[in-house]
A and B are shown apart, each in its own frame.
Chain A
Amino acid sequence: MLGAMLREAWRAMGANRLRTFLTMLGMVIGVGAVVLMMAIGQGAQYSVAQTISSMGSNIFVILSGYTSTGGVRSGGGSAPTLNVSDAEAIAELDGVDTVAPVHWGSVQMVRGPNNWNAWVHGTAPAYFDARSWPIAEGSAFTDSDLRAATRVAVLGRTVAQNLFGDEDPVGKTFRIGQAPFTVLGILAPKGQNLEGRDQDDLVVMPLTTAQRRVFGTAFQGSVRQILVKASAPEVMPALEKNMEALLRQRHRLREGADNDFTLRNLTAVAESAAATTRVMSLLLGAIASVSLLVGGIGIMNIMLVSVTERTREIGIRMAIGARERDILAQFLLEAIIISVIGCAIGLALGVGGAALANTLAKMTVVVSGSSVLIAFAVAAGVGVFFGFYPAKKAAGLDPIEALRYQ
């Protein structure tokens, strides 16, 4: 019975190939759009989640430089207005767990025949915790390294590979200018950040060492960034106010003057970023669903035309014994076949499009099994939903009326 019905559905679809193809195209585009948009939306959510989990918890970032009125920082950290004593003062505030001032610069380094240019972050040991960046091999530097300005460093994976190749760098030395530095450890690889920059292309060393041996005396004591880790999430709002007041007072900013620093609660930023991407991916999905809906309406439209065209055929079938449910099943099956085949093609195109977006536009895309399953279920559902009314209409025809139809 099903075999015969499938053959008949196939025959009916083959009778008007162009129309069947165009109807299917509606489904193809709808499903393709849904799959692609879900892949992009989920990809965005995934990368935000990655970023969030790569940040420490309860972290503030204070950046030096003015904030423009629109909230956009101008000259990101280029004019250092923060210094080490700001960081020391913040460390005394209630609710502060640790503080890590950071100063950075691009530096040329040498190991034997290998030359490499990378960012050097001069900071305190709390840096690793604040960025929740574990040491993969060896160890971090300590407070006594900071006090004594020892020439030690922790390397990012990319730097380690470029300077040392296959060698194990831990315990070995490299040079910056004439000064030799001992490698204490290697950071766990982090990969690219949201902008596609390699986060492992960096060297971390004590701030004191960096200031004396690497950056020179021009910026003595000034830092580009202060990382602050609060002791608990609850203290963060109060701490934010206290830090702002403290820095304004220390920088002698008059009432009404703009801050010469930017204070960010990273957790809040991350949460709003996550919320934004969630909304964005919902929106993408919703827009794509509209095209799926339009595809479904296309199926309904064509099935209605088909029922009208085949009224006489329906009459003949009823005259030789087709029951209502036979006619219903016949037309429903046709609608479902069109939508499922359209769905399969759309799925392939959507996945292909996602792969293309990934390679060409470097977008993070996630095609999950569940989104594929959902697409199939929705397509079958669309077939049933939009095919049902025309099929019901066909099945409800009166045999003699249908036979009289010309």
Chain B
Amino acid sequence: MPEPVIRVESLAKDYDTPAGPFPALKDVSLEVAPGEFVAIMGPSGSGKSTFMNILGCLDRPSRGRYLLAGRDVATLDKDETAALRNRTIGFVFQGFNLLPRMSLADNVALPLVYSAIGHEERLARAGAMLEKVGLGGYAGSLPSRISGGQQQRVAIARALVNDPRLILADEPTGNLDSHTSEEIMGVFRALNDEGITVVLITHENDIALHARRLVRFLDGRIVEDRPTRQFLPSAASHRHPLPREGGRGEGTPC
């Protein structure tokens, strides 16, 4: 078995609250192999986002170990974790989190600014990424001019622009209607088919069925971890190009 992209051992996170420390994660262990597509489910408040933020190196655990691509994140300094966020991980948020005053192309190119890539190459790669998520004609637009589904595509393009090994998404379809959600899931599936590891949070069963593995949280613990493969056509029969914007997502075979 190849080295896991994510390896979490007895992870715990306590939040400081006025009422004392609150355990949001209690003893979570998980391994995710390269190329996996994992859906995390669980009721609200079960610790999914807390877990995801730690996986994304945005937050640090209180106890336990987190190895990202074999490296113990606790041993890294701030610049090194910034570099991980920049190159190894692509993070997609529920609220898109695009910068409102920047054109879509500039938004997508922003991670490249922080890896010291020149202007020309940044624009070229951002353009290619926008093309890939089906928004090639919108490079100069502002985020406020496009729909939520389109904004999420841009956010995915931004997460992809620096060729990450791992895409983390915290309820990426939470703000979208079901049709648009299917399209976005189609994008994630296509990326996973290209070999990128995808871990996403959702509270909708339909969405979770796009993944091949389902991890369920409850009260800060993993209570279920099983494949969803039986609900989906085999991966081999599922090689397809990324769906175009407005095109019908292929992600509802179940």
Q: List residues of chain A with CB under 8 Å of any chain B CB.
A: 1, 3-5, 11-12, 15, 312-313, 316-326, 399-400, 403
Contact = CB atoms under 8 A, between A and B. Distances in A.
29 contacts: A1-B113, A1-B116, A4-B113, A4-B119, A11-B102, A12-B101, A15-B101, A317-B114, A318-B58, A318-B82, A319-B58, A319-B91, A320-B85, A320-B110, A320-B114, A320-B158, A321-B82, A321-B114, A321-B115, A321-B162, A322-B82, A322-B86, A323-B78, A324-B78, A324-B79, A325-B79, A399-B59, A399-B85, A403-B93
Kindly name the residue among A11, A312, A313, A323 whose own CB sees the greatest number of chain B CB atoms within 10 A: A323
Interface of B: 53, 56, 58-59, 78-79, 82-83, 85-87, 91, 93, 97, 99, 101-102, 110-111, 113-116, 119, 122, 158-159, 162
A86 B74 CA distance: 98
Contacts of B113: 1, 4-5
A400 B114 contact: no
A315 to B, nearest CB: 8
Contacts, number: 65
A233 B29 CA distance: 94
A322 B78 contact: no
B82 A323 contact: yes
Nearest to B100: A313
Contacts of B114: 317, 320-323, 326
From B91, B93, B114, B159, name the one whose CB has the most chain A CB atoms within 10 angstroms: B114
Nearest to A321: B86
A100 to B, nearest CB: 77
Given A3-B119, A322-B114, A399-B85, 7 more contacts: A4-B119, A4-B122, A15-B101, A319-B85, A320-B91, A321-B86, A321-B87
Contacts of A5: 113
Contact of B58 (A1, A4, A313, A403): A403
Contacts of A312: 97
Contact of A320 (B101, B111, B119): B111
A313 B99 contact: yes
A36 B51 CA distance: 61
A271 B30 CA distance: 86
A156 B32 CA distance: 101
Name the residue among B56, B97, B116, B158 with the largest chain A CB count within 10 angstroms.
Answer: B97
A303 B103 CA distance: 24
Nearest to B158: A320
A179 B101 CA distance: 89
Nearest to A322: B114
Given A11-B101, A319-B91, A400 B111 contact: no
A321 B83 contact: yes
